[in-house]
Amino acid sequence: MPTSPQADARFEEQVRSAPFIFSGQIVKPGASTVATLPPNDRLAIVKIDTVFRAPAVLGSLTGKRITVQIAAGKPMKTGAKALFYATSWLYGDGIAVVEVARADVPKDKKDMLARVAQAEIRLEDNKLTDRLSRADLVVSGIVADTRPVDRERPEPRSEHDPVWWQADIAVDRMEKGKVQSVIVLAYFPASLDEYWLDVPKLQPRQRGVFILHRGADDKRTILQPPGPALLHPLDFQPAVQLDRVRALLKLASI
């Protein structure tokens, strides 16, 4: 278990950069499990022993063989066991990943699983904290009503237009920022275009935390919202997350 904040931060950074974390044994250097990937001396087939982090869509990888592009200068002796930190590369009949770091196989696998899980939670918290810190208003409350912004000119100019809708949010509490009214007018993109598909589409009686941005934020350029708006999948948090949101606001002194 890391004992210092610096060690925690280092570990968190390793987890952030490695969607794949697994222990395993190098069974065949210079080989590949992916048909389209010709063998070369940077590749090795690793038999996975324990998965600590991997995309769920891949199912269980335990016991499977995976191709690893070994980091420059790292050894790849047959039979060597290690803990691999890797990032995404190829998904075919087999899987290939790119090694970003390596460590000894942890003696206590449960402890390692817990550390990874904690790091993932911290990473998710960091993402939400980032949204909170960028926000102009953070409101807990309930959606009273929704409607299109401009009933006169509904035609989009691009397939990627956000198609702004308004939502009246009855405020329970202002978590960040100030407004005079008990109703906050919030905007959200109603478009189901690929850009906006994951951004929350508010519905009447929806209760939770609304993280609102007056500027275009990272979805910048010509998409300046007409008012405080939801722009990101994390910009709405269900009511059960309220305590977490408040804790993060406090922790970050927002």
Partner 1 sequence: MPVTVINMIPNSLSGETQRDSEPNVSVNPANPQQIAASAFTPDPANSGNAPIFVSTDGGNTWVLNVKLPGGNKTGDTSLRFATTSGVLYAGILRSDTAFQLNILRDPNFTGAGLMTTLVNRANDDQPWVEAVTGLGGTGRGNDHLYVSSNDISQRTTTGFTATVEQSLDAATAPPPAGIAAARLEVRPTANLGGASGSQDGPSVRTAVHHDGTVYGAYLGWRTFATPNVTDVVVVRDNDFGAGATPYADPQDGGDGLAGVRVVIGVQSAPLNTTLGTQRIGSHIAVAVDPRDSQTVYLAWADGATAAAYTVHLRRSTDGGQNWTGDLRTIASATNPCVAINVHGKVGFMYQQLGNPGTGNRWRTHLEISSDGFATAPTDFLLADVPDANGTYAGTNPIGDYANLIALGKNVVGVFSANNTPNNANFPNGVTYQRNANFGTNTLLANDNVTPVTASIDPFFVRYIDVAAGDDFYVRDWTDSAVSGDTGLEPSTHPVFYATSDVWNRRGTLPGPFPNDQPSNEDAGNGAGNLGDNWAFARIRKNAPGTGTKDVTAHFLVSKLGTGSNYVDDNIIGSGVTFGAPDPTVTFNAADLGPIITPALPWHLDAVVSTHLCLAVEISAPGDPFVAPSLLGRAPGWPTTDLAVINDNNKAQRNMGLSTTSNRGAGLTDDFYAIVHNAATFRRDVVIRLNATPEVLRRLPGAQIVLVGGEKTRFKPGTEVVLPAMDPGENRWIGLSLTPPKGKTGEVLFVTFDEMVGGVAVNGFGLGVRIATDAEVVRAKLKLHCSVFTRLAAGFDVHDAEEQAKLAEKLAAAKTLDTKLYVDFLRSQSAAITRIIATFMKGRKDVFRISDALKVLSRAALGKKWEDAAAAHASFLNRLDSFLTSLQLERGDPADILQNVLWQQDLYRRLPSLRKLECAKEIAERSRAFVQAFGGREGGTHGYQRHIEGLLHCFQDTAKALPNLGLEKRIEEITRQIGDQTSLQKAHRQYLLVLEALRTRAQKGSRGRKVR
If the CB atoms of residues 37 and 105 are measured against partner 1, the closer one turns out to be 37
Site string for partner 1, 28-67 (x = CB under 8 A): ------xxxx----------------xxxxxxx-------
Which of 79, 194, 203, 205 binds partner 1 (CB under 8 A)? It is 194
Which of 62, 218, 238, 240 binds partner 1 (CB under 8 A)? It is 218
Q: Is the distance from CB of 74 to CB of 101 less than 8 angstroms?
A: no
Tally the C-alpha atoms within 13 A of residue 79's C-alpha that lie toward its C-beta.
0
| Residues 103-162, interacting with partner 1 (CB under 8 A) | 153-162
Is 49 exposed, middle or buried (CB count within 10 Å of its CB: 0-12, 13-18, 19+)? middle
Pick from 138, 143, 187, 144: nearest CA to 162: 187
Size of the residue set binding partner 1 (CB under 8 A): 46
Distance CA 126, CA 218 (A): 16
Which of 88, 121, 124, 247 binds partner 1 (CB under 8 A)? It is 88
91 is a site residue for partner 1 (CB under 8 A): yes
In the complex, least distance from residue 62 CB atom to partner 1, rounded to whole angstroms: 12
Beta-bridge partner residues of 141: 171, 208
If the CB atoms of residues 175 and 217 are measured against partner 1, the closer one turns out to be 217
Alpha helix (H) ranges present in the chain?
Answer: 5-17, 109-134, 242-251
Distance CA 166, CA 188 (A): 6
Stretch that binds partner 1, among 73-81, 134-142, 191-199, 240-248 (CB under 8 A): 191-199
> Which residues would be at the binding site for partner 1 (CB under 8 A)?
19-20, 34-37, 54-60, 69, 87-95, 98, 153-163, 192-195, 197, 218-223
